Structures are given as structure tokens and as C-alpha cells.
Chains A and B, each alone.
Chain A
Amino acid sequence: MKYTRIFLVFLLSAGFAFGQRTVTGVVSDPDGLPLPGATVIIDGTTSGVTTDFDGNYSIAVEEGVSLVFSFVGYESQSVVVGSQNTLNISLSEGNQLSEVVVTALGLEREARSLGYAVTTVGSEEIEQKGVADVARTLTGKVAGVNITNTTSTSGSGTNVIIRGMTSITGSNQPLFVVDGVPFNSSTNGESGSFWNGITESSRFLDLDPNSIEKVDVLKGLNATVLYGQQGRNGVILITTKNGSGARPSAKGTEVTVSHSTFVNEPVLPDYQNDYGGGFHQLFGFFFSNGGPNFDPAINDPRQFGPYYLREDANNVYVKHPYDYIANRSLVEPEFADLVGTEYAYRNYRGVENFFDPGLVNTTSLNLRSSGDNGFFNMSFGRTDDEGFTPNNRLRKTNFGIGGAATLENGIRINGTLNYANTDYTTPPIAASLGSGSVSSYTSSIFGDVMYTPRSVDLMGLPYITSDGRSIYYRSGNDIQNPRWTAENAFDAELINRVFGTFGAAYDINDNWTLAYKYGIDNTSQFSEHAQNKGGVDGNATGIYVTSDEIRTIQNHSFTLSFNDQLDEDWSLTALVGADANRETYTGRGTTNENQLVFGVLKPFNFVSQSANSYDSEQNIYGAFADLSFNYNDYLYLNVTGRQDWSSTMEAENNSLFYKGASLSFIASDVIPALSGDIVNYAKLRVGYGESAGFANPYRTRSLLSLNAKAFDPGSGVIQSNTTSNTLGNEALEPELLSEVEVGIDTRLFNFLNFNVSVYDKNTTNLITTRTLPGSTGFTSTTVNAGKLNVKGVEVDWDANLVNNGDLRWNLYGNFTAEENLIESLGEGVQEFTYTPVVSSSRPQNYAIVGYPLGMMKANVRQTNDAGEFLIDDDGFYIETTEPELVGDPNPDWTAGLTNSISWNGLSLDFTWQYRHGGDMFSQDAATLVGRGVLNPGTVREGLYVLDGVNKNTGQTNTTQITAINYGFDIFSFGPGELQIFDATTIRLSEVNLSYDFPRNLLERTPFGSLTATLTGINLFYDAVNVPDVVNFDSNVLSTGVGNAMGLSFITGPSSRRVGLTLKATF
């Protein structure tokens, strides 16, 4: 049991105070740094103590006994107590073989006994990284875990996929378990709109990375069987400092304070500075940057046509854009003083001036007090994360307490209680094809700002009229001024969340333990989507959408565990238990349109209101058993099984049994050749596991849609009801997943740890939201259709290159490759798309039999039988009407490499990440280049002839087109295949330079330790096959959290963060 060992230590350490001799000393690492929390146990007993913060221990013993000193990650050492009173011990590093890791249901197991891979990430890799999202701090640190930011907007959602997607239309996001109970990590869809999902944050954002003790990632199904269907996409086990009994400090109180300040700056494209707005080298107040050169010595007055006024040595002056605004009420009388004035045609650097670096301030405080019978921990965290986009901000406050105690009767209890307040707001950042947004529901700030022509005085021109209307430079005023958007439109989420646990355990005797754990997680979210009246995109009359949501998860689990040495060779650890999980959701929303008074965003200020609601409840409960046999500490067999029942399926299909088994064999303990100087340690493991997937609620019954406000012919609103287009499927069955995992863990040459896992995962009976042919009378249903296979290889390694006292150099790396294949989609179905259509020439993600999930199809160039492109009389490509395959968004492989160098108190570590292959659609790259704000190396004044044959004549094409046409009509808005790029990316994802102030310096201060760290996140990246000037970041996903892949519809700049952290203990 999770706390058993710790509590035994506490419990028993009290009993040795009389009659014996006391031995004291310091336990340290090879560098002499003290190891707080190391255990000192009298061999052959369970009595012992732990070291305090300075590594000191004190234990009462009798002469002649052995003391065993151990600490996670270090080689244990056994010393016989002689006559000395002081025993200073230096533990040697690197022996992770006896490391204890947390597995499913919080069970602690020796790493060597596991038949599957578990990766642990410690707090130092998570805390104070200038990123408030715990998932993002794990990026690239765990083989097999793929983490994608949706955007770099502060607070935006994060996609987490472990070992590939196994469901086409269902969720592939892993289960988060915090302090032993399931944690809501969903992305609540306030807008319900696919294209606007990018504005929504993921609820693991409510965790404070600084309060996390460690994260264990369970990747394979064998590791997650005990979690049932909830664990089918992998489990991220988070142990918070409040919930952690694993590393008690010594008796007394310890306070840790840290504060960091980061600068969050946007990585903008490398804009060109020579040309301004227009088309075909002719000036115009257009949204394209194909106008004349800025230099009056180079340009020609004729290029300015009727706009030309005069020129001096620096600039040409043209008529003011407000002369041309068609809707004169925007301009006159308010801006009449600008009408008729001259406007300098020059480079205003509008985009660069629009964005401002934001500051990210994070403060955290942790207080821990331990005593003989338990501990108490309190944590507080505050983050204020300003985005680089105006009015994008994330504020978080976290407060938590936790503790554990052993009662006099031997019952051990523990509990945590956490409160999180997350306040996030951003201007609308919905997917965009160019100007405006894909969704008619909202505007998009990035879509309107990123390729502002260089000659537009974005920050100088008025952007709002006194009655609140957006005004901009185009005559039709058909682009919403991004400055107006930043001030007048937003999406916001306010979360108040309480989550906690209560646990009780009792050792019936030395072998039997009974335990119960209760978890509650209550998220209350208030979301707003708003835009004042006077805009151009979205609702011009003003819109204010509110949504109140409450999601509650309750979890009970009972376990009875058994642990005994059966005979000389065999020991057994067994567990039986049951758990019940209940999740409820209540959502109430209003949509308010037609704003009365500009600027007031409250329902009373709107003429029309409509309401909506969504409720759901879901119960899942299960019974499980887990048997682990240990033969002589070198052969371990584990067998697990679980039966689940779900409330979301019809009675005949609502339960499923699944099972797992694994074997771990420490070959080096048995085969002497494997424990020499070349191979120091070798473990072979094999595991098999299954899991289930139940449908989401309410998929089995057909519905009637009622519309209380269907239409108003002018005489009052009428109602309608219509049979829902979604067909219920009463025959729906659970889907079944199974996985075989084989691995080897080795230590070589006494400095290199090398672990490999290979897995093969199959899903059958996939629960899939299937598009029905409309002629059936319905448009979609939920069916069991399809088989999907994921195979993969994961490698983790680390090498201790230099270790000579003062200087240490470690390398840590990981490698992931996975291959996903759709084997079947059900009878008669060869393919379908699971993302909505934006426009026929833009790609969608498809599920196609025989291909990996997510293949992108879009319209392409027409070709003749010889494969030559067909060209029309104007010299352009001809687009097909049927989409063709244009790209595979799945990377071939990814890898990470961390260098960690330390010298005395100074340490430097830096992490590289590499993604090889995988295609991405980038509207950003296409339009930025195509609209001429970047210079990718083409000659603007040049003429181009496309390679191909004339469709009508069959002759080789000789028709010339201009560079502007080439950029705009072909590269930017031509067939979708031209906007697909290979997304191979190299990235310097993290650099930390830190200094531990020497202890002797701190002696006269209240500090126990003081560390300063300079951190850089995402300092450099290069998507090598995308035009360099775009500075395209492949770590984006325009469609928000979900199963879409490789789609970037103008997601805004990437974020680079640099900051300083001070951390002190008292």
C-alpha cells in the first residue's frame, strides 16, 4: 500500500527511545549533498527512521545489528553497527533497480518486478517552467507520450495522447489520477463549435505544477487494467505534495518558497520590409501586400494610380484610406479631419507593434510538518500569465492542504483538499482561412492581424468610432480591426474547483490490509463568449454567450490486500477490490444577441435571448483482482482481471470483463554472463493487457428535437419538433482493446541505462460516431465499427558520462516511433472524414482502411493520364472536385535529448526535441507568403510559368503568370496539396542554468537552501521544410483538443519564454 512503508517508519520509530544506544550521522550522495528523506532501517525488521532536511538521522540501536540505508534512485547500503556513535554514509547513485514506483491504484511496486514500462517525472522537471499547464511541462520528457499545444495563447488547451490514438471519434485523452482518484481533465466545450474549440482550456490547467511531487505515466494497457475503461488511453498519475507520504521530511517544519518571473514573447514571422499593400505591384488599400516598393527611388508614381499625391526622398504620399471608406457614416463627421489628408506609404511594422511580450509571474509556497504519527502539508500557488496578444491572460490561484495520521487503534487515515481558481481570457482565436474566422459564430484576431500589409498603419489609424464600430483601412470596411477585436471581443473561463481525497487503511494483521478511498472533484465553470456590437465578423449586432457548467466526479474504492512469503522461494502480493465512479454534468447557457448600449456585456442589455442546457450522468463500477507472484526476486508474475459495468449501455451490453498478465525476469540475476562489466543488469519483460471502452451517455436511444423558437413569420414565434438526425443504436456494445508489450531494461558499462519497449495494441468493435448516408433518414449514429492497430517502439536511456566529484555530466534521451493502421471501418465503409469541411480545397482528417488514422485529403491539381498538371488558358492549375490524399499527419518518429551538466553548485541542462516527418497543413505559411508580407525568395516583378500542359490544346503550358498570382492564387488559395508541409522540426525546448548557493554561505541566514535558476523555454525551433521566414511552429492544432491532426488554420505566433526563478527553503 502506498503509505504503508512510510507509516511503518513513523509508527515504529517512536518505539525505540529507551535503553539503547543512539547512532547519528548524515546520509549524503556521492557529492556530499545531504539526502533528505532517506530511510534508515534496522535490517530484518521494519523499524527505522528517515533523514531530515540536512540528511541527519538519529536512531537507537543495539550493537551488532545492521542498518540499511536507502534512498530512491540510489544503491542501498548495509552497515554493521560497531562501537561508533556516528555513522556518515554516502550512497552511490545509479542503482535504480530497486526503485519503488507507483502503479495502478497507487500500488507501490519495485520497478524490477514490473512487466511493463512506467516513466516517472520528478518535481524538478515540472516546477517553475513558466508554463502553468502541467501537461505542457511534460512535453518531450516521456517516450510514447505525445503532447501538442493547441496554440501558444496563455491558457489554451493541450492535447495529450499516449501510445497513439485508438479511437476514431471517441476521446483519446488519458485519465488523470491525482492523489489516487480520477481527476476531471476534460475540455468543456462552451461553444460547442469544432472550429472554436481552440479557445478552450484543458482542465488539468487547474493543477499547480509547483505543488506536484511527481508524475508517473502508465502507458500500456497491462499497466492500467485495474483502472478499467477509464484507463484505456493511458494514465497520468500525479502525486501532489499534499498527497505525498513518499518523501517525508524529518520531524519538524519545512517551508519552501519559490518565485519566478518569465517573459512570454511571440515568435513572429520574418516580415519583409520593402513592399507594401496592393496587388500586381499596383498600390491599393487591400489585404494583400503585392504593392510597390517603399523606396521612392525605385517605385514609379504610375504604380499608385489615382491614389498618388506626391513624394519626397523617403516616401510616396497617397490619398488617405478614409477617403475611400464606402460607408461614409464611419468616417464623417468623426474622422473628417483625416479625409483628404495625405498618407505616407511606408513600412509601419504593424504586426510587430501589435504584439507585446507578456510577463508570467509564479509564486509558490509549500509548508510541511511531520511528526511521529503523520504529516501535514499545505501548498499555495499563484500564477499570473500574460499572453503576448492584447487581453490574453491566465490567472490561477491554488490552495491545498493534505495530511496523514495513524490513529491509536492502528487505522491510518489520510486526506487532501484542494481549491483552484482559474481565470482565463483571450480575444477570439478561432480557426481562420484568411481574414475573419471559419466559424460564423466568432471573429478571429490572428486571422485579421498576422498578414496585415506592411503599409497599414495598424497602431496609428483610429480603430473604433465613437459609437463603437470597428473601422479599418479597406473601402468595404470588411475586415474587423484587430485592435477593435482585442478590446471588444473575448472568450473567458472562470473556474472554481474543489477536489480532494479521503483514505483509510487498516492492517488487519501482518498480511492483510483493508483500505478505502473516496475522491471528489467538483469543477464549476463559468464561460463567456462576447463581442460588442459594431464588429464585422461574427455577430455584428453584438453577442454575449454564457455557460454555467458543473462537473462532478465521485469515486469510491475498496481494496483488500494480502502480502506474504509463501515459502522459501515464493512470495505473493494479492489485491481484490471494487470501485464505483460517478460523473455528472450540468450545463446551462444563454445566448444574447442585439446589444442595446455599446460596451455593456450583460444579458439585460440585449434584445434577444435564448437558452440551452445539457445534462448527463454516468456510472461505472467494477470489481478487480490482482495477483503478483515473486520467485526469488528475479522472476515476477502478475495476473489481473476486472469486470466493469456501465450505465451508458443497454442492459444486455453493459458489462465487460478484461484481464492482463505480465512477467518480469531479471536475467542478470540468473545468468552470470549478464552481470559482468559490460552488462550490469538485464531484465526481460512481457505483458498483455485489455481494456474496454463504453459509449458516451445517451447513444443508444433516438430522440426528438424540440425547437421552442423555430421561426417568426412576423406574427410571433412558432415552435417545431423534428426527429433527431442522430439515430440511436440499441445494439451498441463496448469496444475492446488489447495490447501486448515486450521490453528489456538494461544497465551497461556501469554508466548507461537502456530500456526498450515494443507494443502492439488492437482495438476491435470500435465505438465510432459514423456518418450515415442521408438517404437513411438520419445523418449519424454510433456504431461498433472497425479495427485499429497501433504498434510502437519506445526507448528511454540515460548515460552518466562524467562523474568525478565536482563535475557531473548526464545525458538522458528518449525515442518514440509508432504506427497506426486502420484495418476495418465496418461493413461496406472504406473511409470517412471525422473533421468538418472548411472548404473543399482545405484538408480534412480521414479514417481510411489501410492507412493510419488522420490522413489528410483535399482537392488537388488535375492531371492528365501522363501525370502532367493540366493548366487553363490563363496559366493556372485546374482543381479537382474530389479530394485526394495529400498528407499523413503522423510523425515518423520523435526523440528527445537532455544534457545535464553540473559543477559544484552550478548546473546547466538543456533539452532538444526532434520530430521527424508527419505532414501539416499550414494556412499560416500559405497565406503569409501568398499575401506577400514575407519574402520567401521569389522575385516580385518576375513572371512564372507553371509546369504542365494546357488543358484545351494539350501543348506544354507557356502562359506566364505574375509572382503575385503565383503567391496568391496558387500557393495561398490554390489546391490544398500546395499548403501541406513536412513538419520535421528541431527544437531547443528547454534550457536551465541554476546555481545552488553553498551551504556555508547560508549558515547565517534563515535559509536552508537557496537556488536561482535561469530558464528558457522554446528558445529555438525550426520546421526545416517550411519556408524559413514563416517561423512556423509545428506544435499547434487549430481544432483544439481532440482527434484532429496536422491542421493549422492561422494559430498565431509561437511563444518563447525566458525567466528567472528563486527557490528557498527555511
Chain B
Amino acid sequence: MKTLNTLKNNILRSIAVLAVLFSLNSCETLELEILESPNALTPASSDIDFYLNAMQLNMASFFNGVKDEGMQLTRMSHLYGPFYENAYSTTQMSGPWNSAYSNIFTDYNNMVPRAAEKGWETHIGIAKFIKAYAMITLVDYLGDVPYSQAALGVENLNPGLDSGASIYDAALALILEAKQHFSVPAQSPSNDLFYGGSRANWSKATGTLELKLRLQRRNAADSNDATAINALIAGAADNLITTSSSDFQFKYGTLNASPDSRHPAFVSNYELAADVNDYMSNAYMAEFVAQKDVVDVRANYYFYRQDDDVTDNDDNEIPCGNERRPSHYALSDIFCYIGYNDVTPSESTSNGYWGRDHGDNDGIPPDGGLRTAWGLYPIGGQFDDGSFTSTSGQDMGLKGAGIQPILLSSYTHFMIAEWSLANGDAETARQFLASGLAESFSKVTGFAAEMGAAGAVEFRSGASVDETAFLGSLTDNINAYIDYVAGTGATSLWNTTDDKMGLLVQEYFLALWGNGVEAYNTFRRTDKPTDLQPLLKTANNDMIQSFFYPRTEVDNNNQLTQKGDHLVKVFWDN
């Protein structure tokens, strides 16, 4: 039997041992306030310039997220389809939607008040410009979207819709405010990726955005727009982007990792040798190389041919090669490839422009080293010197140092031309068409030099395009082209066509390579051109008038119901 004493001693001893053990880590073990993550900063430690950098990068990724759809629908690039009703799933717009609201809007809300405290007007102006661009484009693609209740976080988890027209008004107000911000000298952003701190250029971009906005809604009556547009045009040199030195474009670099700073389309098409991901549009390429009696030198900059002849490949590599032209394709429509001979397919000819028809959703044959790729402009790929060799990987051309062409000088000229033509001034329209073409050609042919790598216009041994001849006749070819299309001569297309607007818009499309936003908008605004290649599988031309709301938005926002179909028009489209 134990005595009471030893019992007590044992208890005390064991408690002491346990207490020592426990106290070794008791303090931190019992801490209950571990709420701030050590893995990120708190909003209070943000940096205004870093916020502005994020907004500029998001501007580029937002634009990148919408440009392809616009190009696909206007036959500038290939649409898989096969029908408009199922060409895109309801997740298609999720990326740009979230990029606009949860990145651009939220960062705007956090940055602007802090910049205002410091009086950093330029920062605020840029932020307003970017926010306005995103809002306008969301309306253009989706119609009515949340705005006044958007990006409020916990305060409103179910933002309702605002009308597209009211959002346009709100965006216009932001643009006009931005212009004021750019008019006062202020602290320059530490990184201005667009204009290197030039407030004058920002002011021109703002004016051009205003022109774009007002022109876009010209069919939806607004009494002030005409006056404002005319005023912008009258002072174009100060108000608008009229020369390429003030182009509003996002420039990429050549760094391929940490961080990958190259043009996204370059990465997906040139990362691996002979493994091109995108298909060019047959109809669009034909506009450059088959539909006119003049040479369009832009073809060598826009497209890179990997193969010299489509016809010598077997049918499984180019499956349409043994298929018949669909009955709803007119003979003037391109089918399968340029030079396809309906009557005697075996006598078809080809010049290596290997793309796809609108809505061709066939599986992918092993043609990654054969199909035509994006070229030098605007994604920073390879110049087409007629070598007809497969892409060799990521060291080609400008190595990805391309641009997102958001608002270029040529676009301004085309917009002014459209405005003039719509208001009955055909001669002014012709002049701006001609100057727009000139801007486009000089931009494209001077692109490598502009990006600081003139040597990227490269003629390799084995090239079928002769360097001296090509470069020597470059200016002549450009002038001949402009003359042919928009010359004063009686035989110019301009003077012979009944459909001047159709011609103007078609030429605008050819200048818009890389920018589907303006193409898609202009197409719906003008209903031109009228002779675009039909879908491969159907004659129905029930083109997408606006995109579906993102599925995650509809599923999680009880103020939103999905549109009935893809034919809902946006407010300015009538």
C-alpha cells in the first residue's frame, strides 16, 4: 500500500513533468489570432504605381481576350463553328468579363482614391481611360451589363444590369474627365507602357476613344455626337491619333519566362517548331493575294506560309481537298483553298496559303508544320520570304515582340472616312480611305524597324521572294495599291463601285489585322461588307449579334438571366 505522502508526491511529480513538457510550446499552441495571411500583402501596403502597372497589363489581356472572337466572326481568322448558335460556349466571355470587373474595376476603385490624395492626375487619367475602354467593349460584345452596382464586393453580391446606352454615357463622361486629367502636369507613372509618360499622346488616345464611342452609336440618335465628332476631326492633329507615333498599342517583349512577356499568339504558334496552333481564314488571305489586280505587300508581313502548295498533300491532311463545294457557296466564295478548282479538282492550283473556311470544325490533321501561320505583324512572328519552311521555334522573327493594335492611326482615318461617307461627303471619305491605307502600309512595312529589329524582315537563302525586287518595289506597290483602291482615277475601285461603304469597310478590315474588336463592331454598325464567306455547314447567316453572359455569372448572380439566343442586339445596332 502506498502512503498518502508518496501518492501526493507522485501526483505532484507527474504534474510537474507534464507542465514542463506542455510549456515548451504552449504559448504558440494556444494563440488564436492567426488571421492575416503571411503569404500576401494587405491592401494597406499597396503601391499606386504597381496598381497602375496591373491596370495596364490587364488592359492588354482584356483586349487579347476579345480580339479573336471579333476576328473569327468577321472571317479575318478561322471560326470552328460549326454554327453560330454553338460556335461559342457560355464560358467564352468569362475571361474578359472577370478581367474587366475583378481586375480593372477593382483596382480602379482601390487606386484612384489614393492617387487623388497625392494629386497624381496622369495616373487617374490612364485608369479612367482603361476603365472606359473595358466598359465600352463589354457593351459592344454583351449588350446590357452590370455597371453602377458592379465591383462593390460584399456590398452587392448580385449586381444588376445597366442599359448599354447608359454605360456608354458613363464611359463618355470618364473619357472627358480623363482628358482633363491629362491636361495638367503631374507626377509621371513609373511605368507608362503605352506612351512613356507623354500626356499629349494620352490626350490623343482619349480623343480617339471618344471618336470611336460616338461613331459607334451614330445609328442610335444622340444630338451632341455630330458636333463633337466634327470638332474632334477639325482639330485632329491635337485631338486624335493620326500618325503612328501616337498609336495606342500594347508592346510585348521577347523574354520567354519569368515573366513570359511575349505576344500570346506568338507563344501559341511559335513555341514549338512546326506546331502552329491557329488556322488563318481562307477568305481573308484571298483578299490580299487573289482578289485584286495589284500586289498587297502586307501579305508577306501578315502571314507566314510553311508550305508552297496545298494540293500536293494527301486528303487526310487537307480533308476538304476531296470534298465538293457546298451548294450554298457561290463561285466567288473561296472554298478549301485559294485556287481550288471545282470542276476539275485535280487541276487545282495553290500558292501555299493554307487556312480554313468559316465554320470548318474538322478534327486536326498533322498539318502543324504545313498550315499558314501568323506572320511578322502584329504578333512578332516571322516575315514570309517565300522560303516555305516550317516554323523552327521561338527564335523566329521578332521573337514575340509584337503588339496589340488597339487604336492605330490608320483606324482613325478609316473612322473619319466612314463618318464622312455616312454624312454624304464621298470625296473626303475617299481621301481618308487613301490616307488610312497609307498609314496601314507604313505601319506594317515599318513594323520591324519600329520594334527595333529591322533585321527581322529577313530573306533567307532559298527564299523565293527576291529581296532587292521586293524592297525596291515596295513603295511603288503600295502606291499602286492605294491608287487602285482609292485613287482619283476613273478605274479605281472607289470610283467604280456602287457600294462605297462596303469597299471602305472591307479595306478597313484588311488594315485591322490583329484587332477583331473594331472589325466586329464596324461590321454590325455598317452591315458591310455583304459578301463575306458563309458558314461551311449552313446557308443560315444568323450571325452572333452579342455574346452570351458568362455561365458562372448567370449561375451566381440572381439579378441576371441568360439571353434567349445569340441574336440579341446591342443598343447601337439598328
Contacts and interface: CB of A to CB of B under 8 A. Distances in A.
Interface in B10-35: 10-11, 13-14, 17-18, 21-22, 25-26, 28-35
Interface string B48-92: 001101100110000000000000000000000011011011110
A831 B555 CA distance: 7
A769 B76 CA distance: 40
A713 B555 contact: no
Residue of A279, A772, A840 contacting most chain B CB atoms (<10 Å)? A772
Contacts of A508: 7, 11
Contacts of B106: 722-723, 725, 777-778
A55 to B, nearest CB: 35
A319 to B, nearest CB: 11
Interface stretch (B292-300, B366-374, B503-511): B366-374
A594 interface: yes
Contacts of A411: 10, 13-14
B482 interface: no
B355 interface: no
Contact of B102 (A328, A518, A725, A881): A725
Contacts of B538: 872-873, 952
Residue of B46, B105, B106, B110 contacting most chain A CB atoms (<10 Å)? B106
A618 B34 contact: yes
B223 interface: no
Interface in B32-46: 32-43, 45-46
Given A326-B370, A881-B85, A828 B110 contact: no
A162 B16 CA distance: 40
B153 to A, nearest CB: 6
B275 A712 contact: no
B314 A282 contact: yes
B365 interface: yes
B30 A704 contact: no
B164 to A, nearest CB: 15
A341 B9 CA distance: 93
A476 B366 contact: yes
Interface string B515-549: 00000000000000000000001101000000010
Contact of B53 (A502, A650, A718, A772): A718
Given A701-B35, A773-B556, A881-B86, A727 B40 contact: no
Nearest to B275: A478
A645 to B, nearest CB: 6
A54 B39 CA distance: 59
A582 B24 CA distance: 13
Nearest to A612: B39
B89 A859 contact: yes
A409 B107 contact: no
B455 interface: no
Given A284-B316, A478-B275, A873 B158 contact: no
Contacts of A21: none
Contacts of A651: 32-33
A97 B251 CA distance: 78
For chain B, the bracket of interface size reads 35 or more
Contacts of A941: none
Nearest to A723: B106
Interface in B286-328: 306, 314-317
A349 interface: no
Interface residues of A, number: 124
Given A518-B21, A703-B41, A872 B34 contact: no
B233 interface: no
Given A710-B259, A774-B98, A477 B369 contact: yes
B29 A582 contact: yes
Given A718-B53, A832-B556, A476 B367 contact: yes
Interface in A500-515: 502, 504, 506, 508-509, 514
A287 B53 CA distance: 44
Interface in B102-160: 102-103, 105-107, 109-110, 145-146, 149-154, 156-159
Residue of B46, B363, B538, B551 contacting most chain A CB atoms (<10 Å)? B363
A704 B105 CA distance: 15
B439 to A, nearest CB: 24
A776 B150 contact: yes
A777 B29 contact: no
Interface stretch (A524-532, A602-610, A662-670, A675-683): A602-610
Given A327-B390, A878-B83, A613 B256 contact: no
B366 A721 contact: no
Contact of A722 (B22, B107, B251, B560): B107
A837 B91 contact: yes
B310 to A, nearest CB: 14
A475 B157 contact: no
Interface in B140-186: 145-146, 149-154, 156-159
B159 A778 contact: no
A409 B34 CA distance: 42
Interface stretch (B205-213, B266-274, B463-471): B266-274
A410 B21 contact: no
B261 interface: yes
A723 B101 CA distance: 11
Contacts of A827: 558
A540 B551 CA distance: 34
Contact of B89 (A502, A607, A703, A881): A881
A369 interface: no
A721 B54 CA distance: 6
A777 B259 contact: no
A38 to B, nearest CB: 31
B39 A282 contact: no
Contacts of B154: 727, 729
A775 B151 contact: yes
B83 A703 contact: no
Given A326-B306, A475-B370, A698-B37, A280 B556 contact: no
13 contacts: A284-B317, A307-B314, A475-B370, A506-B10, A506-B14, A647-B34, A706-B40, A710-B53, A710-B54, A721-B51, A725-B103, A772-B556, A775-B159
